[in-house]
Structure formats: C-alpha cells, structure tokens
Structure 1
C-alpha cells in the first residue's frame, strides 16, 4: 500500500509524463543489492589503491572515530556514579557516519593512486568493484522503471542494468559536445530513447549479458573522485549549458539519489540562480530525508521530496505504468482526450467516461435543441424594485440579441451568498448565472466553482445533458481578473462535481457534456500556445503556484510550488522557513480573489495563519508573496 504523499503526487507526475516533460534522474540506489552502494564501492576502490591497507586512505574516518571515543571517555570521567564503563558509553553513542563529501574525498584519493597506473587500470578497478552479487535478482525498482517508455533518462550510474532491461535498449550518450547536442535536439524532435550517462558508462553488468551498443569512449568519461567532478563541472561548459537547458525545460524525477553530492548541488544551484525556478518543481523519491534537507532542496533547488521505502517504489512505478499504458487500463482516464477530438479540445472529467468538457472558440449557438445555454450575469443587490434582478453585460446582451429575447424576462431559481441562478421565462433553455460576493457586491473568484455546481445541478434536474456556457464572472477588459482566472475556476468547479461520480436524472446511460465558448482573443492565444494547460487543470487536484519571500536587504527568493488547497497558511510559511515573528510579516495573493481596489494588497500574516490556501483565494497560477514590513513590496 503506497503512502498518501505518493498517491497525491501521482496525477501530477502522470500529467508531466503525458506532455513529455518528465525525466527520471537515477542514482546508485536504483541498482543497489545487485550492484554495490556508493560507500561500499568507494571502500572497494580504497582496497584496490592500497591492498591490505585501505585504512591509510580512511584516515579521516579513523580520526573522527578516535575523536568519538575520546569524547566518550571524557563523558565517563564526568559521570558521578561511575557505573558506565568506557565500552558501554562508547556503544551508547552513535558511530560516526561519513558524509557524502567525506566519501567523495576518499574516492578522490583512491582514484588518484589508481590512475597513476593508467586510465585502463581505473576502468578495470571500477568494473570489478561495481557488482556486489551477480547471482542476486535484478532490483525490482529497476525492472519496474524499465517497463515504462522514457524519451530521456539521466543516470549517474556506470552499470547497464536499466538499459539492458528495457524492451528497446536506449541510445547511450555521454558528455561529448556531439552527445550534448543530440540530447538538446531530442527536447524538440522525435528521437529514439536516450540514456544520458553523465558520469560515464561501462556496461556488461546485466546478468543476461545482453549486448548494449554504446561508444567505448564512454569508459573514458568515468567520473569518481572530487578532482574529476570539478573538471566536468568547470572545464566542460558545453555539458554544463546542455544540462542547464534540460533542467530548465523538463521536470526531473530523482530516484536512488540522496541529492547530497556537493558538485551536483552546486550545479543545480547555479542553474536556479541564473535562470530562476523552472515552470514546475522537480520531485525526489527518497527512503529517508531530514526536514532540514527537505527544506534546503525545496528552497534552493526547487525539488520537492516524497519519502518512500524500497518496497513502495516498485509498486509506485507499476501503478504509474498502468496509468499511462492505455485509456482502457488507465487508473485515471482524465489523462486522455477523447479519441479524434484533438481539434475540438475535448476532455474527460471523470473515470466513468460519462462527463466531458469541450472548448470552442466560436460564439454560443442561437439554437440548442437538446441542451441548455448559460450566460454570465450580475445581480442587483440594492433595495427597491430592482432587487434580485439580473444585471447584464456584453456576453448576455449578445446572446439575448441573437435569440431575440427581452432582457427583463427572468425568474430567480436558486440563490446563495456567492451564487445566484436565473432562468429566462420565454426560453427555458437559457440560464443566467451570477458568481459574486453579494455581501460586498464584488466579483470573487472563489464563488465560480459554486456557481458551476449550481448550474450543472439545475441542468440535470431539468433533463439537459448538454450545456453551452461562456466564461463566468470574467468581466470586461477593465476588470481586475483576466479571463484565464475565470476559466481556471470553471474547470475546477466542473471537475470537482464529477470527480466522485454523480447521479443521472431520468435519461439513463446518457453522458453529460459541457462546451465552454471562449471568444476572448487573449485566452484563446494562451490555450493554443499551451501556456494554459487544460489537461493539467482537470487532472491535478492540487495547485501549482509561484511563491516569493522578500526580506530587507536580501535577494528575493522565488519558488514554484505545488500546494494542496487544504494546506494552512501557517504550514506554507513553515516550509519557507517562516516560523516566528509573524507580526512582522505580511502576505498578498495575486490575483486577489475579490474585485476591489486592493488587488495585491499586503495583509498581516498573523491574521491569515489559520486559513487554508483555498480560503485566502489561491488558484493555479497564483503568486503568493511573503514580505516583511520593512522590505519593499
């Protein structure tokens, strides 16, 4: 049984996969058990460098261990009762665990000794130290990953366990200028699958001894020690630039790597510093990760960590494979557009295939024989004769004119504090929906999902299974909200309605379809260019947002984060390292959920801590800014 975090992140990873943006980045943990782990591998190098005397290279570890025992002895002398022996106290203290940096430095010293005998000797030693148990079964996580088609995989491993396990062996590329150019071309062109071996490649480890074609020069690109890492990062600018381009344009899924190596952290940090955060956070699946390291990776590398054990990873990858394999076997059919409907941009809203949403760039129809038409309107809230009457804008005026109907012949069907629904008395198929904060008499993005639910409910009650509607509460060009924000909230209202299933009316086995008519040129361009991703908005139940942290006399930190709507503002602040001094902090949301003159206004953070992201008006694409009172906005 997978943990909750894995379940929640699965739809978003599938979305990135379907768009060709998800790239696995695999480390030694994906080959462990059959191949040696990183520390065991380095110890093998040390033994090869000084046979019988590897402790000479491990002097750093010996020194730390001696310091630990001395500390134990000092504590024993200070104990009052003297009951504990030095041995007991030494055992009670945790043994020293070498850091990733320590191991890399040890590897560097061992490699420098081995390389004195020639590079061929280094390749020979690495090959010998690489396999731990050639009779062991292939790692289940590697087998599960190999069953999925990946256009690009990045690997720091020297072995061929993954490449030889794939049904169609990938093309193995390294760090040469030609290879880096081919990797960059693959971001735009349809090429054969690629395994980008960024630390060199040996091959020959897979128990089947399956022949894998690769350039033998990749042996020359083996990187082990600190000095070699620095040469790769600093003296191969073509590789650094190619890697930065891939990192900027793709979403990485780290597996089998603790992301603790200084040289890679420096490379990722440089990319983030120069280019800023990418269009999405990357994700790392780790067995264990401290809260401090999680925070570091999120804040500085834009990487979200999800903890999972060795048993969960193969299960997760298998479920991932089943979800993307085909429409019929998909765990979530919302992934797939309707067959043959690419030009119509038609999407499934649930797994039952009985609710669809289509996008049309045409005006709403004059006649709708089997369905309903809905226009966005306002509602008169002032006291007097006109109270609770609809207020019309350009959208409703246009439809009324085309249908040759009067603008005053409406009756109020449903009314709440944030949504009201009207029906035209002379044309029962025509509805008017108002989504507003009626107490303040302002537009409110948070009201739109409620208005959509109200509208769909009414259509089903009256036996309409096709709904044509324009954008709800979008306003005009001078309005505060861009039409894209109304569109996003309409999708959220529709998908949430059908997500858990729904009860049909009198007509059995008849699907429900929503056609959203978009005539705004700006929104049309955003949809056609792919800057607004309808499939992501329908599939993902969380929100991808931009977060800023502004401090006085400090560089503004910017992140792209995925947040749950139920996440408390206090929890979000904690992730960003804001855990105290709330009275000195302010927060603002852009776009502001309400139509007012205070769009993007700073409000005291302490007043918002107990509210959820949904309550403060977060939607996909929101910019959430945290700033101290003394820093500029």
Structure 2
C-alpha cells in the first residue's frame, strides 16, 4: 500500500518560496498573528471594542470558535453603528495590546520586514509592518520617497494601482484589504474602509467590482504566502473560489504557514484541492505555542535575503550594431582594469560644486584598487580618467542655473554614451560600469530609473557610431551584490520581468504612464511616444488645454517642478524616461 502524503514543513518548501520570490511571484498575505502581541488578537479585540461601545452581552462561550467570534463581531458593529459611533475611531483606541513593550517591534514582524517586498497584502488595521519595512529599507536613508512603502485600500484608484505595479517597476505597496489606520497614497482615508462584521465584509466584497476584479487577477497571477492568518474569513474563501472557478488554477500554488498543532486532519487536503493553497508547517520545539513562529520567519528571511546570483544578457539590435552586447549583473565592479577592459565608476563633486571644480567624490562601491590621481577628459567635463589606467569616473550631473553640479536624471544617458564612446575609441572591447548617480543613501529617485537611463545611453552610443567595433558592456548592480546594506529593488525589477532591458535598448519611443486627475476621478493610460514630442503635443492629443498643470514622477532633480509655462518642453527635456508617470491636474478653481 503506498505511503500517504505528508504535510511539508517550511524548511522543506523554502526552495520553492525562494524561486517564487526571485521571479517576483511571492506576495505575503499577513494577518493578525504577525502583529501580536503589539496588537490585540481577534478575541481580545472584540471584547475591547464591545466594552468601549458599551455592548453588554456578546454571548461568547468560554472557549469561542471562529464562528462565535464572527457573530460577536457583527453584534459589536451593528450596535456601534446604531449609536452613531465610528468603527475607525473605536479601532484606533482598542487595537493596541496592553501587555507588551510598545517600543519593540515583534520579532516576526521584523523578520518579514527585513525582506524587500514589492507588494504585501494585509488584513491588519495597524501600520506596524509598514513602519518596520520603511525603517529597514527607506527612512533615514533616502532623499526621496519614491521607494517608500505606502498603503492602498479597496477603492478603484487604489485597486488599479495594485494591478499597475504588477508589470512595471513601482514603489513597494501594502494593500490593506480590511481598512487601515492611515491614508492611502492617493489621499483616501482608509480608516473609513475598516470592516469587522459579516455584513460589512459582504458589502465591501460584493458592492466593489474594481476590488473584486483586481483581487481575482492578483490571486490568479501571484503566489500568496499566508502569514499569521487563520484563513477563517469566509468571504476571502469566496473570493479565492470565485477566481479559481472563473479563471482557473494558477500553476504556482499559494502557501500558508501553519503551526502544526493547529493543523486539523483534513485541513491540508481541503486547502490544496479546493483553494490551491499548500500548507507549510512549523513546530514550537518545546516552547509555548507559537514560539516557533518568529524563528521560522527568520529562517525564511535569511534564505530570501541571500545575494542574488547570475546575470542577464541583452543586445542592441540594428544593422549597424549587432556587435553591442549588454550584460546586467548583481555584483561588484572588477577590482582591476586591463588593456581591453575599461572600468567606469560613479563620482560627484563636493558640496554640489561645478562639474569642473571642487573635490572629486568617488562612490564607495568603487574598489580602492581603482583609485588614483585623475585628469579631466578633453571636451567631456563629466568624465575624469585615472592617470595611466583604463579607469573613468563619470559625474552624471548637470550644471544648474547657479553653476553648481546637481544630480539630474536627464544627464545619465548622455554621460553613459560619452563614457562608452571614449573607452571604445581608446581600444576597449569590454566596459564595466556601475549604475551611475544611484546612491542608496543620497539618491534623488529610485535606482531603477538610473539603470533605465544607462540603457538608453547604451542605445544612444550604439546608434550614434558608424564605425562600430565589437563592444561588450557590463552594468554591475553593486548595491544588489553587497553582503550588507543591500538594495535589490533595481535588480528585482529585472529578475521579475517588470523591467525589460531589451525594450529600452531597442525601442526609440518612450513608454510611460499618463494620469489625468479631474476632481475625484483619475484616468490612467500607457503611452508610447517619441521623446522629441512635447508635453503640449501629448496634452493636445488628450484634449487638455494649458489651464492644466503637470508633474513628472520621478522628478528629474531634487527640487524641479513643471508648471503650465513648461508645456513646450520636449518629453525628454521635461525629464520623462521609460517608466515615468506624467500627472495632469487642473486647479480646483478651474474645474
């Protein structure tokens, strides 16, 4: 007789989780267990809400089941509404736990937040994970907020933004499925979206077509990893089932982390065969119940935080330049140059000095073996060569109106093209470059946009030379290859397919997103337009006059904004690059 299937442990499934994470498929779906004990569990929360709302009889037995808690929650919500009380205000007051250190982040939260996630789904109302993630990956480290995790709710704008993020580089997102004590990135008050009772859940689900469709698409195209969630909400099971019936089973199963003592006999079979969710267990190893929860998440985080390995190769395709190949690698730049192998490191000027003056500041990712006295490259004020070496320092800056050299996204492509041209003219067959103007601490935009502009610079170099000799270009994502203070956002965009370098290398047109904000309505549409076209031409095509203002995200400099008087700028001069967003807005007085 064949041996029966056994439930997998987290350790046994960790290789599959790692593979899904590398491909951008793994999406944590977090529940109340992740925030414990800083935030109350379900039973404690229902009792606290009842006391605050003066609900006298919850009819709860001594050891209530999930069904008992569902009924009790419904009584609390109904009576609070009948008395004119705000559920959001009640939640803000009652949610924090009373028997814990409120200054400490729970170990499980810290472990999961140590991993860089492009998207996290949450049924929690608190901002504990959001703050822990940003403290780890953003706060105090950036001079922009373009890669700070932000919350989204169930509204149409928010739901569409979640779907938009699946196929292009985007900031990290927390999709708060049951409301949130804070605001959405689009300004909605997510406290108004807080749901607790059965009737609220039902209305939030069945009366919101945008949310239902977006959730179904996400369930179909990603692999959820349920953490700290009991999967007890029937309306979520209904959403899962609806997606499976309408769209079919996704080939990448979802996974649920479950304490082995909570595993009922038929639970793994039901989750797998009916909801496409594979149970992964963990044990407490002699400690009190759930004592093994944080350690197993720490084990997972260690696996997912391993430095990425391997590279990707791409080509610039043209009758003139079939000999230009481009490799992208998550690695340090080589420690030495050679006769045919040139190295290009990133540099700046002290205190924002002019390009031609001030102390040269070399990136910390440039090995000291490549340091040395430099001389300016003739006719290229943004390039300096180490004397006697095939090493260039590229200053991807642009002189501002006051003569200082400021970071400018629009200058990276030109600097890249000039560095390649100079190296190739002087005999280079291989050129290794780090990502320019992409400091993880002083950057003005997400690093992936610096990479995109470097790819445009390679295309510019390749198409601009008629005497092209074979050239192998290697871009090293040094921040992804570090053993500490690693930043993998740019590399993850490549590995997951959200950024297609072939498109940037081989397409003249810019692919960007347009958002038109009119009152409470937002219209979004992708556009493919040649960079020489003006903002005015785009606006005219969309039927927008010059009463509209616009902004470009990310902005090309730290302080630059564009007003209506800038409409005649070309898209490139306005700072639009592949992956940018142009937002058109009309002042309230003009609507």
Question: Would you tell me which structure has more helix in proportion to its own residues?
Answer: 1
Taking structure 2 as the reference length, what is the TM-score of the superposition?
0.46
Taking structure 1 as the reference length, what is the TM-score of the superposition?
0.44
